[in-house]
């Protein structure tokens, strides 16, 4: 029992050390869409580790290196026709990436796939910068959440998202591209949880992985089968 109490205390302390990045989707709709597309549609993790760099200068260099890896310097939102005008009439000329460049997963490619990109208004980028400030030097975990998802032009942040690319989600495979539109996922499973009014969303996590409802059902079936023959279930 004492060991269990110590484990629970350690787990709570570790969870408390994490940081929430909560976007108001009425103020940053395009960044909400990019992060929801990456996390909910493409199944990238909602929780990212900080870059763990020693100081601000090292963090800036680290983030710039990761941006160059996917071709930030070739200006995809200016020279490659990915710039567009948002439904609110703003010029979307600043590339937003997920995972964040200064996070531990920043760069061109992770085990989840190539970086997810969207051209967004520079005003939204400024608001995002304030929210993720310090992630490059952090050793914490940073979790993305969303409020006011009903204000968005696409349903990607909401329940049962269609995940049909609106033509503005793209990716890169190298320093100079090529940049290409991200194909729609073949299968969409909603991995998020929602507030009672359905206007806020977050992803239920197990460790750093999204919890797939169908996978959870399979785990429960295995657990029940194991218990029926007296064999302890091992994850």
Residue 130 tokens, joined: 């304030």
What pLDDT score was predicted for residue 13? 37
For the entire predicted model, the pTM comes to: 0.82
Mean pLDDT computed over 169-183: 93
What are the E-state strand segments in 94-187? 94-98, 109-110, 113-114, 116-120, 141-147, 170-172, 179-181
Query: Could you tell me the CA-to-CA distances from 15 to 39, 207, 216 in Å, in that order?
Result: 20, 10, 21
**Contact criterion met (CB below 8 Å) for 52 and 137:** yes
pLDDT in tens, 31-72: 999 999 999 999 999 999 999 999 999 999 999 999 999 999
């Amino acid at each position: 029992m004492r060991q269990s109490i110590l484990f629970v205390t350690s787990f709570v302390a570790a969870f408390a050390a994490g940081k929430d990045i909560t976007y108001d989707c009425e103020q940053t709709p395009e960044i909400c869409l990019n992060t929801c597309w990456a996390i909910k549609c493409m199944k990238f993790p909602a929780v990212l580790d900080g870059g763990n760099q020693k100081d601000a200068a090292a963090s800036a260099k680290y983030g710039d290196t990761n941006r160059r890896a996917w071709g930030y310097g070739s200006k995809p939102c200016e020279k490659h026709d990915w710039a567009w005008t948002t439904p609110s009439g703003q010029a979307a000329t600043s590339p937003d990436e997920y995972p964040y460049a200064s996070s531990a997963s920043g760069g061109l490619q992770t085990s989840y796939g190539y970086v997810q990109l969207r051209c967004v208004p520079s005003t939204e980028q400024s608001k995002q910068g304030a929210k993720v400030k310090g992630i490059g030097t952090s050793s914490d975990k940073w979790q993305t959440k969303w409020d006011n998802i009903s204000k968005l032009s696409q349903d990607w942040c909401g329940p049962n998202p269609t995940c049909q690319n609106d033509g503005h989600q793209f990716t890169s495979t190298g320093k100079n591209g090529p940049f290409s539109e991200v194909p729609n996922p073949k299968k969409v499973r909603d991995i998020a949880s929602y507030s009672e009014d359905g206007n806020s969303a977050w992803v239920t996590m197990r460790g750093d992985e999204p919890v797939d409802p169908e996978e959870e059902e399979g785990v429960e079936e295995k657990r029940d089968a194991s218990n029926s023959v007296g064999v302890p279930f091992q994850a």
